[in-house]
């Protein structure tokens, strides 16, 4: 393997970042991994630069695609949590190959049980991109470690358009998820400690700024 030069791609693979990312996107399509859209990614990268984010907690690593893009957008230190072992292993492999192991820490746990792993770390941003029914729980658990003026970015806030559809046409479990995501919107809108803005980007994104 040789020595990885920090922020340089693994030379033994002889691939550029772009080529490696293309492979990650192909893997995601083949394995139905819901990685962020290109549009969402651009928004995420712009936001990270705009708020000069240097430390972030991501909930929902999947294969490490958004994590590596976040990290490289502004030399960000990323903590990211994943509960599925096949995803975790794929993410570790990718992060290592990209030479980013010193900047991206992957935690293999359910995010609702991973608080002790980060309790001493303060974050400039949280990026919530995991189980849609648990967004509020994630938010409440980790906002304690968000700096004043820090931001919470949420992905899939439109939930593939389901929020606008007739609930009586949905399965019971889908209806439950939609209700929880609606509750989360209400929670953000009525939260006196945050200013939240919604963006029609990708599958719907939001930014909540901690006052
Ligand atoms: N952020 C990634 C995509 C994440 S997909 C990207 O854009 O590249 C959502 C991931 O969250 C899945 O891999 C899923 O296994 C994980 N996940 C869902 N609920 C979780 C939880 N409670 N704790 C940890 N990981 C979770
Ligand atoms: Mg997403």
The pLDDT tens digits along the chain (211 residues) read 444 444 455 555 567 889 999 999 999 999 999 999 999 999 999 999 999 999 999 999 999 999 999 999 999 999 999 999 999 999 999 999 999 999 999 999 999 999 999 999 999 999 999 999 999 999 999 999 999 999 999 999 998 888 888 888 888 888 999 999 999 999 999 999 999 999 999 999 999 999 9
Q: Where are the domains of the chain?
A: 36-210
Q: Tens digits of per-residue pLDDT, 4-35?
A: 444 455 555 567 889 999 999 999 999 999 99
Tell me the β-bridge partners of 194: 210
Shortest-distance Cα residue to atom 15 of ligand 1: 84
Q: What φ, ψ does residue 205 adopt, rounded to 5°?
A: -130, 155
Is 200 in a helix, a strand, or coil?
coil
Residue nearest atom 6 of ligand 1, based on CA coordinates: 35
**Calpha distance 150→194 (Å, rounded):** 10
Task: Return the pLDDT at 2.
Answer: 42
**Helix (H) and strand (E) counts in the chain:** 7, 7
pLDDT at 137: 98
**Nearest bound ligand to the CA of residue 64:** 1
CA–centroid distance, residue 165 to ligand 1 (Å):
24
Using the atom order of ligand 1, give the atom closest to the CA of residue 28: 8
**CATH code that applies to domain 36-210:** 3.40.50.150
Q: Which residues pair with 125 in a beta bridge?
A: 56, 151
């Amino acid at each position: 393997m040789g020595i990885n030069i920090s922020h340089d791609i693994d030379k033994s693979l002889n691939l550029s970042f772009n080529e490696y990312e293309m492979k990650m996107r192909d893997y995601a399509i083949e394995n139905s991994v819901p990685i962020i859209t290109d549009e969402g990614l651009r928004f995420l990268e712009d936001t990270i630069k705009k708020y000069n984010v240097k430390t972030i907690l991501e909930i929902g690593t999947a294969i490490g695609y958004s994590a590596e893009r976040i990290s490289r957008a502004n030399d960000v230190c990323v903590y990211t949590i994943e509960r599925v072992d096949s995803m975790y292993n794929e993410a570790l492999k990718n992060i290592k190959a990209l030479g980013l192991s010193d900047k991206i820490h992957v935690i293999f746990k359910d995010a609702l049980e991973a608080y002790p792993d980060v309790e001493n770390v303060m974050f400039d941003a949280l990026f919530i991109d995991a189980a849609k029914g648990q967004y509020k729980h994630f938010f409440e658990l980790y906002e304690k470690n968000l700096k004043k003026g820090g931001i919470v970015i949420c992905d899939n806030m439109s939930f593939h358009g389901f929020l606008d559809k007739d609930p009586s046409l949905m399965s019971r479990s889908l209806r439950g998820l939609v209700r929880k995501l609606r509750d989360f919107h209400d929670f953000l809108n009525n939260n006196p400690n945050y200013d939240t803005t919604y963006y029609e980007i990708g599958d719907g994104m939001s930014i909540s700024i901690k006052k």
